[in-house]
Amino acid sequence: REAVEATTRWDIALAGAELSRRYDMSRPSLDSATMRLKNARFIPCEEECKRMALAYSPLSAEFSAAAVVLFGSNMGGKTVVLKTALFFQLVAQAGLFVPAEAFATRVFDRIEYVGELDGERLAGLSGFGLEVWRLSRAWNDGCVNGSSALVAFDELARTTGSHEAEALLSAVVEAYSSGQGEGRAFFATHFRGVAR
């Protein structure tokens, strides 16, 4: 049994080293209150662009606020920024190197994506009801119970009218900005009336 466990650890370490070499990865820093990405490459998106003969630009950004609003038009890259941040956080917390020149963050108790998911259905709830249920669950799991969470909201309140969506999203951004809990929330939106 000990030999099997040692071989498993060695195999995982070897796979991590090969992955690191193939994608020119670096060791993440997990002791920073500010999330910093320098030339961070979201590999699935980068490879898809390569297959389509399209240019791909790595992400360099710094996020220090408890609530970060990414604003822009549809097809502007907001979702890719969210996915890049979550991908890097997951990879770093799994103990692997990351495909970037540098990545600094801290460890979160929970990592959650609140957006459109394939095949997700809750019987009896409207699209908006499902969004509110997921928002409530993310808030309770990440702030109310004292754990730290990294949550990405992709076009929250997209299933309601624009005025209602702007009001709801502004209130949620304000709640996360208040510093209650130890988490960080990202919000991607194209609504202009959201408090930033």
List all residues 6 or more positions away from 185 whose beta carbon is below 8 Å from its beta carbon: 66, 67, 68, 150, 151, 152, 153, 172, 173, 176
pLDDT digits over 30-87, tens only? 999 899 999 999 888 899 999 999 999 999 999 998 888 888 777 778 888 988 999 9
Supply 171's token pair: 């209130």
**Residue corresponding to tokens 């390569």:** 50
pTM: 0.80
- Higher-pLDDT residue of 90 and 159 is 90
Instruction: Report yes or no: 93 and 111 within 8 Å, Cβ to Cβ.
Output: yes
